Amino acid sequence: MADLHVNLAGLQLSNPVLAASGCFGFGREYNEFYPIRQAGGIMVKGLTLEPCAGNPTPRIAETPAGMLNSIGLQNPGVDAFLSNELPWLLSQEAAVIANINGHALEDFEEIARRLQGAPGLKAIEVNISCPNVSHGGMFFGTDPAMASEVTRRVRKHTSLPLIIKLSPNVTDITEIARAVVSEGADILSLINTLLGMAIDVKTRKPLLARKVGGLSGPAVKPVALRMVWQTAQAVDVPIIGMGGISSAQDALEFLMAGASAVAVGCASFVDPLAIPRIIGDLNAWLDREGFAGVRDVVGLALR
Amino acid sequence: MADLHVNLAGLQLSNPVLAASGCFGFGREYNEFYPIRQAGGIMVKGLTLEPCAGNPTPRIAETPAGMLNSIGLQNPGVDAFLSNELPWLLSQEAAVIANINGHALEDFEEIARRLQGAPGLKAIEVNISCPNVSHGGMFFGTDPAMASEVTRRVRKHTSLPLIIKLSPNVTDITEIARAVVSEGADILSLINTLLGMAIDVKTRKPLLARKVGGLSGPAVKPVALRMVWQTAQAVDVPIIGMGGISSAQDALEFLMAGASAVAVGCASFVDPLAIPRIIGDLNAWLDREGFAGVRDVVGLALR
Amino acid sequence: MKAIHQASLLKNRALAPQLYEMELLAPQMASVSKPGQFVMVRIGENQDPLLRRPFGLAGIDPESGRIRLVYQVVGRGTDQMSHWRTGRTVDVLGPLGNGFTWTEDPGRVILAGGGLGIAPLLPLAQALRSAGKEVTVFLGSRTESLLFGIPEFSELGCELQLATEDGSQGFKGFLTTPLEHFLCAQALDAVFLKAKEASEAGAGHAHVHTHAMLREGMKETGFHQLYACGPSPFLKVIGNLSSRYGLPAQLSFEERMACGVGACMGCAIQIKNPDGTLKTSRVCSDGPVFTGEEVHWNG
Amino acid sequence: MKAIHQASLLKNRALAPQLYEMELLAPQMASVSKPGQFVMVRIGENQDPLLRRPFGLAGIDPESGRIRLVYQVVGRGTDQMSHWRTGRTVDVLGPLGNGFTWTEDPGRVILAGGGLGIAPLLPLAQALRSAGKEVTVFLGSRTESLLFGIPEFSELGCELQLATEDGSQGFKGFLTTPLEHFLCAQALDAVFLKAKEASEAGAGHAHVHTHAMLREGMKETGFHQLYACGPSPFLKVIGNLSSRYGLPAQLSFEERMACGVGACMGCAIQIKNPDGTLKTSRVCSDGPVFTGEEVHWNG
Ligand SMILES: Cc1cc2nc3c(=O)[nH]c(=O)nc-3n(C[C@H](O)[C@H](O)[C@H](O)COP(=O)(O)OP(=O)(O)OC[C@H]3O[C@@H](n4cnc5c(N)ncnc54)[C@H](O)[C@@H]3O)c2cc1C
Ligand SMILES: Cc1cc2nc3c(=O)[nH]c(=O)nc-3n(C[C@H](O)[C@H](O)[C@H](O)COP(=O)(O)OP(=O)(O)OC[C@H]3O[C@@H](n4cnc5c(N)ncnc54)[C@H](O)[C@@H]3O)c2cc1C
Ligand SMILES: Cc1cc2nc3c(=O)[nH]c(=O)nc-3n(C[C@H](O)[C@H](O)[C@H](O)COP(=O)(O)O)c2cc1C
Ligand SMILES: Cc1cc2nc3c(=O)[nH]c(=O)nc-3n(C[C@H](O)[C@H](O)[C@H](O)COP(=O)(O)O)c2cc1C
Ligand code: FES
Ligand code: FES
C-alpha cells in the first residue's frame, strides 16, 4: 500500500482523486454505487447565492470522445447547500469542497461569507470559468484583472483553503494563474470546460438550446495536460488537474505534469465506479513501480 | 447534381472541400489514391524561406479521438516549392494554395514576394498559428497587433487572395479576426491546432520530443465549430472552416456555422479517400435535401 | 448499492428494418426492475462514442433472469448495437429511474405508446393484467413495420387500437386522434347512460357536453389511469386529454442524458410544485415517469 | 493507384502470451507486396482509437491471396485486434514503403531480427532462399515464448542462431553478441585461411586483427549482405557491426506514424546525403528500409 495522502497547502486529503464539480451532484447519487468517502474529495455542484433553475434543454450533446454541456449552474443555492447537502455529506464522512459562482463580484463575496465557519467544510473552489452562464461565469476567468479581483474579494471573506478554478479559454493560462496566486489563491484547479458547439444537421440548428456549451471528457485531455504542465512551471501553489481523466494512467499523466491531485468529471457518467477504480489502479501502479507515496510522482515529467 | 462551386472573395473553387495544410504534403502521395484535382483546393505543407528539417522525433502522439503533432514545418523551402512542387501540382490540374510561415515579419514578406506572380497559384494562406516552432509561429497569431502587422506586410506584396489562418489558442478569436480583416485579409481559415501534450507514463516524460504539440482531429471539432460560428458573426469575409472534419455531416456542420468552404486535415491519414468521399456524400446530401447549390447551406445555423 | 451489470447477450434480432430487439441475461437486474424503468448501455470500451445510451425496459423476466430492449437504429450507437452478436458481454447500468405505479386492484386503464414509446408499455401491461386490470392499449408509429408488441399485448388480453401515420395499419394519422375519440365516446356513453337512468328516474338534463360532464362521465367508465410513453409532443397531447377528461396520466419522458443517475442535471424538465411554483427536476432520477398534472408544458 | 483493402480475417491466434498471428485474405495486396513492406490497420470505425496501426508483412502468399501479420499486444489497438474473430472484415492500407532489395544470384546473407523485428524477415528469407542464397538467421527476444518463426526459417533451410535476454533459449543476452562473435569468427577464419594459404605459399604475415583485416576477411567469407529489423538501439549496433566488418546492411526502422504514406512528415529519420550533408527522410515512404551507410545515428 503506497501512501496516497496528499496535503495541498493545508488541504489534507486521504487520496488525490477528487470528484469534479458538476459531475457528482452533492454525492447522493454515486453513494448508491460506493461509499463516497472513498473519493479524495468532493467538489460539489456549482453553488450560486440564490437557487438557480439552469438553462433550457437540450443541455447535453455528445462529441467525439467528449461531451458538451450547458447546464447553467442549476443548483439549490448556497443556503440549501448548508442546511441540506453539507450535513448529509459530512454524515457520509466525505471531504467536501464548495464550488462557488457569481454573476457579480458581490455574489462571490456573499457566498464566501455564508460559507465561512461552516463546520466540516474543507475548502472553497471559486469557479471563474463557467462557460454556461450569460453574466459573469467565464468572463471573470479570461481577464487577469477580473480574476485577481474575484480572488481578492473572496480571500477577504474566507479562512478556508482557497482554490481558484481556471478557464482554458485563454491565450495564456499562466498569466491568469500568476494573477490569482498573487491575490492569495492557495491552490489552482484546472481546467474547466472548453467552449464548444455542435450542430444538428437535420434541424440545421445548434444541438444545445443555448447554442454553445462546455466541452469536457477525454477529447480535452491533451489541452488540459499542457495547461497543467505550463501552470506548474509558472506558479508555486499546488494544482488540482482535471480534464478527460478516466483511468489511473490519465491521472498519472496529470500528476507527472505537476498536479498534486486530480479530479474526475464526466468519466463518472460513463463508469459510475470510475473514482474508486482509478484510486485502486493508482495504488497498484505505485506499488508495482516502487513509489512509497503518490507525492513522489508529482512533477516527474517536469524534470 | 447540386452545384458545388464556391467563390471565396475571388478564390474560385470547383467544390468546397480542401486539403488542409500539412496533412497532404504537396499532393504527390494522395495522388496515388485518387486524382488530387478532385479536391476543391490543396493547401500545401507550410513553406518557409529556407528548407527546414523540422523537429526531432517522436513527432506524433495519438490522443482520444485526436492526435498531437510537432512536425516543426519540415519543408523544402519556398524556392524548391516553386521549381519542383508547384509545376507538378499544376500539371495535375490542382487548385494550389501556398501556406506560408515565418520566424520574423521579414520572412513572411520575402516569401510573399517570391510567390507573387507564380503562374497558376490560386491563393496564399498565412500561417500565424503554428504551435510547433519556437520563434514566430503561434506567437504571431495570438496577439492582435502582431497578427495585424503580419497581414499588412504580406498584403503589400501579394495580389493573390489572402487567407489568414487563425490560432484557436486565444481568449477571443473574433478580436484577431477583426484585426486581420481590417488589414486586408480576404479570407480567414480556422482553426489551426490546439496546443496540447501527452505524457508517457512508462518513461515519465512527454511523449513528443518537443514536449508540446498541436492537437487536431475529431476531438477538436466542437471548439473549431464554435470558433467558426463566432467568427462568421464577427466579420464579413468568407471562412474556410476546419478542425476534425471526417465526414460530410461534419463538413455540413461547419458550412451551417458560417464557413463557405472546409478543409480536411488528419482525416486523410485515417482514410486516404476522405476528401473525395466527403465531396461525394456532400453532393448526395444536397440533392436529397433539395439544395441547388452548396452556397445555400452556408450559415443556416446562424439564423 | 446500485451496480453496473455485465450482461450476456442472448438474442439480438431485427423485428423490422431498423428495429431490433435484444435480450440480455442479467438476473440481478431482472429481479429488481419495474416497468417504466430504463437502463444505460455502454457502446464500446473506447472513448468514442463516449456516453452510454438510454433504453426503456421492454421486458423484465425475473424467473429467467432476462431483460429485453427494443431499439431503433437512429445513429451510430444503435447502429453498432445492431451488429452485436449473441454471446457477447454487454455493459448495462440499471435499472434506473422510477417506474410506473399502479394499485393492486381491478379497474380499467389505458396505455398509449408512440413509436419506441411502446417498449416500456409491454412489461407494464403484464403487471397491470396480473393486478387484474382491464387494459386498453393504443399503439402508434410512422408505419406498420415499426409497430411492435401486438401479439404480446393481445396474448395478455389487452384490447388494442392501432394507428400509423401512413395508414398502413389501423387509423391513418396520429394515435392521439383515435385515443381522443375513444375517450370522448366512453365518457359520452357514460353520460348518456346516466342521463338515461336519470330521465328514466324522471329528472331532465340538457344535452350539452361541458368539460365537467365529460370528466363526470369518465369517472363512471371505470377508467382510472392513463399511461403513456412517446415523443414529447405526443405526451403533451396526452397531458391535455388527461386534464380534459379528468383521467390521471403517468407520462414517461425522454431527454438527452449524460449520467442517467441524477448527478449531472443534463436531463432537466420543468415540474410544478403543489403551490404552483416551478422546479427543475431530472428526467432520469426523478422520472422518467411524471404525472400529467405536475408537468409544466412550456410553449 | 494505391488502395485501401477490405480484407477478410482468416486466422487470428495466439502464438504465445501477448503474441498473435493474423492471416488476412487480400489477394490484390498479396500479389504486389514485397518483403520489408508494411500495412496500416484500422482498429475501429469510431473516432477512437483514431490512427491506423503499422505492421510489417510477416507473410506474403500471392497464390492463396493471403498476407500474414505477427503482432504483440502492447496497447489498446493491438489488444483489440487480438479479440477479432475470423470472418470479420479488416480495413488494411498497403502495401506501404519500400521493401528489402536483393540480387537474384547465390551468395551468403545474414538476417537479424530482434523482437517483433523477426516478422518481416520471414518473407525475406523465403525470397532469398528462392534466389538461391545461403541464409543465416539470428533471432532474439526477451524470452523464449516470444521467439517465433523458428520452424519456418528451418524449413526454408536457413541456419539459425538464437538469443534471449533471460537465457530461456539460446544465448543469454542480446542477439548482437552472438552475431558479433559469428562475424568475427567468420572473418578471422577467412583471414587465417588466407594467411595459411599465404604462408604455405611462403609469405609471412603478422597476426594483428586490424579492422581492415576483418573487412578483408569478411569479403572472403562470401557474406555480402546483412538484413536487420528490430528496435532502434539494436539497429544502431547492427549498423556499427556492418561498418566495422564492411558488410552492407539493410535496416528496417520503426517510427511513430500518422499517415503511413509520406504526407504528414511524422516519421522523420536523419539520412546522410552522399556529400555528407543531412536530409530528413520519411520512414514510411522513403523507408522503412535504409542502408546502414546512409543512416545518421544521432547521439
Ligand atoms: C429514458 C429513455 C428511454 C429510451 N428508450 C428507448 C427505447 O426503448 N428504444 C429506443 O430505440 N430508444 C430509446 N430511447 C432513445 C435512445 O436513447 C436513443 O435513440 C439513442 O440514445 C440514440 O443513440 P445513437 O448513438 O444511435 O444516436 P446518436 O447518433 O447519438 O443520435 C442520433 C439521434 O438520436 C436521437 N437521440 C440521441 N440521444 C438521445 C436521447 N438520449 N434521447 C432521445 N433521443 C436521442 C437524436 O434525435 C439524435 O439526433 C430512450 C431515451 C431515453 C432518454
Ligand atoms: C513500420 C512499422 C512496422 C511495424 N511492424 C510491427 C509488427 O510486425 N508487429 C508488431 O507487433 N508491431 C509492429 N510495429 C509496432 C506497432 O505498430 C505498434 O506496436 C502498435 O502500433 C501499437 O499499437 P497499440 O494501439 O497496441 O499501442 P498504443 O496504445 O498506441 O501504444 C502502446 C505502445 O506501443 C508503442 N507504439 C505505439 N505506436 C507505435 C509505432 N507506430 N511504432 C512503434 N511503436 C509504437 C509505444 O511504445 C507505445 O507506448 C511496427 C511499427 C512500424 C512503424
Ligand atoms: C455536466 C457538467 C457540469 C459541470 N458543472 C460545473 C460546475 O458547476 N462548476 C464547475 O466549476 N465546473 C463544472 N463542470 C466542469 C468540471 O468540473 C470539469 O472541470 C470538466 O468537466 C473537465 O473534467 P472532465 O473532462 O473530467 O469532465 C461541469 C462539467 C460537466 C460535464
Ligand atoms: C501533421 C500535421 C501537420 C500540419 N502542418 C501544418 C502546416 O504546415 N501549416 C498549417 O497552417 N497547418 C498545419 N497543420 C494544421 C492543419 O492544417 C489543420 O489546421 C488542423 O490539423 C486541424 O484540422 P484537422 O483536425 O482536420 O486535422 C498541420 C496538422 C497536422 C496534423
Ligand atoms: S442524465 Fe444526468 S441528471 Fe439526468
Ligand atoms: S507517417 Fe506520415 S510521413 Fe510517414
Q: What average pLDDT is seen over chain A?
A: 95
| The pLDDT value given to residue D219 | 83
Find out whether the beta carbon of C255 lies less than 6 Å from any atom of ligand 1: yes
Residue D209, pLDDT score:
59
Does residue C16 register a pLDDT over 90?
yes
pLDDT at C203 over 90: no
pLDDT digits (tens, 9 = 90+) for C242-289: 998 889 999 999 999 999 999 999 999 999 998 989 999 999 999 999
> What integer pLDDT is reported at residue A133 of this predicted model?
65
| pLDDT value for B28 | 97
Size of interface B-D (CB pairs under 8 A): 101
Mean confidence (pLDDT) of chain C? 92
Q: Which chains touch D (3 or more CB pairs under 8 A)?
A: A, B, C
- Give the CATH number of domain A6-55+71-195+216-302: 3.20.20.70
Ligand 1 centroid vs C53 CA: distance in angstroms?
7
pLDDT of the residue at C201: 65
pLDDT of residue B60: 97
Residue of D nearest to B32 (CA): D1
Q: Which of A270, A271, A273, A277 best probes binding to C when mutated, by most C CB atoms within 10 angstroms?
A: A270
Q: What pLDDT, on the 0 to 100 scale, is given for residue C196?
A: 74
Give the largest CA-CA distance in chain C: 76
Grid cell at residue B185: 485579409
**Alpha helices (H) in C83-175, listed in sequence order:** 121-130, 150-155
Q: In chain A, which residues have their Cβ closer than 8 Å to the Cβ of D48?
A: 64-65, 218
Q: What residue spans define the domains of chain B?
A: 6-55+71-195+216-302
Contact B127, B101 (CB under 8 A): yes
Q: Judge contact between D112 and D171, C-beta under 8 A.
A: no
Q: Which of D45, D46, D78 to probe by mutation at the C interface, max C CB count within 10 Å? A: D46
Phi, psi of B288, deg, nearest 5: -60, -40
Backbone dihedral region for residue C167 (phi beyond 0: left; psi -120 to 50: alpha; all else: beta): left
Q: Give the CA-trace dihedral at D116, D119, D124, D129, to 10 degrees.
A: 110
Across chain D, mean pLDDT equals: 92
Average pLDDT over residues A99-104: 93
pTM, 2 dp: 0.96
Quick one: which ligand is closest to A190's CA?
Answer: 3
Residue with the larger pLDDT of the pair A136 and C276: C276
Give dist(CA D154, CA A3) in Å, integer: 53
- Nearest Cα neighbor of A184 from A229, A126, A142, A130 is A126
Convert the pLDDT of each residue in C146-193 to its tens digit.
999 999 999 999 999 999 999 999 999 999 999 988 888 888 888 777
Residue C207: pLDDT over 70 = no
**Which pLDDT score, from 0 to 100, does residue D105 have?**
85
Q: How far apart are CA B253 and CA A205, in angstroms?
A: 9
Q: Which of B169, B196, B212 sits opposite A171 (nearest CB)?
A: B169
Taking contacts as CB-CB distances below 8 angstroms, the residues of chain D near C76 are: 46
Q: For residue D189, give every residue at least 6 positions away whose Cβ sits within 8 Å of its Cβ, in sequence order, or none.
A: D217, D221
Residues of chain A with pLDDT > 70: what percent? 97
How far apart, in whole angstroms, are the C-alpha atoms of residue D244 and residue D247? 8
> Between B6 and D187, whose confidence is greater?
B6
What cell does B273 get?
A: 479517400
* Rounded Cα gap, residues C94 and C84, in angstroms: 20
Q: How many CB pairs under 8 A join A and D?
A: 5
Q: Locate C38 and state its grid cell.
A: 430504463
A65: closest CA of chain D, how far (Å): 7
pLDDT of residue D46 exceeding 80? yes
Mean pLDDT by 10 residues, chain B (303 residues): 95 98 98 97 97 94 98 95 98 98 93 95 92 67 92 96 96 96 98 97 97 97 98 98 98 98 98 98 98 97 91
**CB contact set of C229 (below 8 Å; sequence gap of 6+):** C36, C56, C112, C113, C114, C117, C118, C119, C120, C121, C235, C251, C252
ipTM: 0.95
Instruction: Give residue C2's identity as a one-letter amino acid code.
Output: K
Q: Please, are residues B256 and B300 in contact by the beta-carbon 8 Å criterion?
A: yes
pLDDT at C226 over 60: yes
For residue B58, what is the DSSP state?
A: P
Q: Is the confidence at residue D206, as pLDDT, over 70? A: no
Residue D227 CA to ligand 1 centre (angstroms): 56
State yes or no: pLDDT of A231 exceeds 60: yes
Which atom of ligand 3 is found nearest the CA of A21? 17
**SS3 of B145, please?**
helix
> What pLDDT sits at residue C185?
82
Provide the pLDDT for residue B1.
85
What's the pLDDT score for residue A134?
Answer: 63
**Pocket (CB within 6 angstroms of ligand 6):** D 257-260, 262-267, 282, 284
Question: Which pLDDT belongs to residue A135?
Answer: 61
pLDDT band at C221 (very low <50, low <70, confident <90, very high): confident
Tell me the CA distances in angstroms from B72 to A172, B59, B253, D52, one per residue in order. 21, 9, 30, 22
Do B34 and D1 count as a contact with CB atoms less than 8 A apart? Answer: yes
Residues of C with CB under 8 A from a CB of A: 1-4, 42, 47-52, 93, 255-270, 278-280, 285
